[in-house]
Structure 1
Amino acid sequence: MQVKNSTFLVTGGASGLGQGTVRRLARAGANVVIADLNTAAGQAMVDELGADKVVFQSTDVTSAESAQAAVDLAVQRYGGLQGLVNCAGILGASRVLGKEGPHDLALFRRVIEVNLIGTFNMIRLAATAMAQGQPNEEGERGVIVCTASVAAEEGQIGQAAYSASKGGVASMTLPIARELGKHGIRIVSIAPGVFETAMMQAAPTNVRDSLAAQIPFPSRYGRPDEFAQLVQQIAENTYFNGTMIRLDGAIRMGAK
């Protein structure tokens, strides 16, 4: 797929990995719909990159109506939808047996709802719009990139909810790829390691230091544009499909 002049919808596009993705795609010539709850940050991205190629839509990925509105905006404004990048997500760390009692069930449910159900909600609606588009010369109509995590394979203590949500994202990638292939739609998940995002900056200093010390090389946090670069490569290389790709500096997380 050619990124230039294609239309992408990026959830969580007003910050972190999503923001880095919006910047790279827009500067590569794509039309981009930023789907996020942070209106101020989303509008700032539009001001930065230009309203001719970038538009913001306040979006709750867990809501069918809100997600549909973002997809509809992409189709109505740019004439179709060729790409979805799912970056919206939350952490919600807690021990199963904490000092103040058992894991809050509502917290567990909320993490699953946003990270897993929200991702699937966007996939089902975006794929519907993509399937109605015209295929390119290779028969491709669209590409979907989801954000999993190395925690899907190496979840740490306190990450039961987060790991379960990201493991779900990773596990549904192949069956969705198998189903959507006949429509010319690909899907790939990226499993980032430790990246420099607002979510990570909010973590306690001891947690940040512990994670950074576990990265063999380069011994630093990943940069959002490095994630975005992989998104672009997945979009442009048609043979990427149905898999999860780790992007992690060779980190293998310990129990804590």
Structure 2
Amino acid sequence: MEMKETVAIVTGGASGLGEATVRRIVAAGGKAAIFDMNEERGQALAEELGNDRVLFLKTDVANSGEVDVNVANVKETFGKINAAINCAGIATPGKVLSKRGPLDLSQFEQVIRVNLTGTFNVIRLAAAAMQDNEPNEEGERGVIVNTASVAAYEGQIGQAAYSASKGGVVGLTLPIARELASSGIRVMTIAPGLVETPLFAGLPEAARESLASMVPFPPRLGRPEEYAKLVESIFTNPMLNGEVIRLDGAIRMQPK
């Protein structure tokens, strides 16, 4: 699939990895629907890139009804959906046991709800919209790209909820790819390392340099545009299916 042929749902598309992906899709001639809770940023990005190519829909990705309605809205507006990129996520830290006592269960549940349940919710509803597409010459009807994290493999202290949620995304990849193969829908996951997103923007420069020095090569934080480039590579290579790709500069996270 070429990006110029893409009509994509991008969750978390108002900032960070999702924003970079939306920009790359539009620059290549495709169209994107931003599913995000940040109405101000989402609307501004849609206006900047052109409302004929970008649709913003305020969406709680873990809300079944909201996603169902908004998927239908995208299909009605752009005529089809043949890609979904799941970037929406939260990273609320918290130790299982701290001086305040055990971690509040609701905090764990909220991270799982957004990162894992939200990803699955969008996968299932986007795939339902894709299955009616006319297949291309490879028999392909759609591509789904999820976002995990190196924390799925090397979770640090205080990341139990985040690591569990991203490990779940990794675990979804192969079985769903196998299931959707008969419909011509590919499923891939990217596991980024340390990327220069709004999460890092508020850190002091010394802290940012310390994090960057942990990356073997290149010795810096990743850039959202590099994630978007990998999304494009996945789109254009039909043999990429059912796999998780680390995008991390060879980093292996330490306990803390």
TM-score range, shorter chain: over 0.9
Q: Is it true that 1:103 corresponds to 2:103 in the alignment?
A: yes
Q: Distance in 2 between matches of 1:202 and 1:93?
A: 16
Give 3-state SS (helix, strand or coil) of 2:158's partner. coil
Give 3-state SS (helix, strand or coil) of 2:136's partner. coil
Alignment of 1:56-135 (within 5 A): 56-135=56-135
1:137 Cα offset (Å): 1.0
User: Is 81-90 or 36-45 further displaced after alignment?
Assistant: 36-45
**What count of residue pairs does the alignment treat as equivalent?**
256
Alignment of 1:79-228 (within 5 A): 79-202=79-202, 208-228=208-228
List alignment gaps of at least 5 residues for structure 1. Answer: none
1:211 Cα offset (Å): 2.7
Alignment of 1:13-92 (within 5 A): 13-92=13-92
Q: Which letter does structure 1 place at the counterpart of 2:96?
A: V
Give 3-state SS (helix, strand or coil) of 2:153's partner. helix
Alignment of 1:237-252 (within 5 A): 237-252=237-252
Is the Cα–Cα contact under 8 Å of residues 116 and 168 in structure 1 kept in the other structure? Answer: yes
1:69 Cα offset (Å): 2.1
1:207 Cα offset (Å): 6.0
Change (3 A) 1:175 1:203: farther
Change (3 A) 1:62 1:54: same
In the other structure, the counterpart of 1:232 is 232
Change (3 A) 1:203 1:175: farther
Change (3 A) 1:69 1:16: same
Change (3 A) 1:116 1:206: farther
If the length of structure 2 is used for normalisation, what is the TM-score? 0.97
Percent identical among aligned pairs is 56
Change (3 A) 1:101 1:209: farther
1:192 Cα offset (Å): 0.2
If the length of structure 1 is used for normalisation, what is the TM-score? 0.97
1:204 Cα offset (Å): 7.4
1:212 Cα offset (Å): 2.0
Deviations 1:74-129 (A, max 9, x none): 21011110000000000011111111111111100000000000000000000000
Q: Which letter does structure 1 place at the counterpart of 2:40?
A: A
Q: RMSD value over aligned CA atoms?
A: 1.3
Q: Which letter does structure 1 place at the counterpart of 2:144?
A: I
1:199 Cα offset (Å): 1.8
List alignment gaps of at least 5 residues for structure 2. Answer: none
Q: Which letter does structure 2 place at the counterpart of 1:14?
A: A
Is the Cα–Cα contact under 8 Å of residues 142 and 186 in structure 1 kept in the other structure? Answer: yes
Q: Distance in 1 between matches of 2:148 and 2:92?
A: 15
User: Is 74-83 or 206-215 further displaced after alignment?
Assistant: 206-215
1:234 Cα offset (Å): 0.4
Give 3-state SS (helix, strand or coil) of 1:116's partner. helix
Is the Cα–Cα contact under 8 Å of residues 33 and 70 in structure 1 kept in the other structure? Answer: no
Q: Distance in 2 between matches of 1:226 and 1:68?
A: 30
Give 3-state SS (helix, strand or coil) of 2:5's partner. coil
Q: Distance in 2 between matches of 1:21 and 1:144?
A: 13
Is the Cα–Cα contact under 8 Å of residues 6 and 25 in structure 2 kept in the other structure? Answer: no
1:201 Cα offset (Å): 2.6
1:49 Cα offset (Å): 0.8
Q: Distance in 2 between matches of 1:204 and 1:162?
A: 23
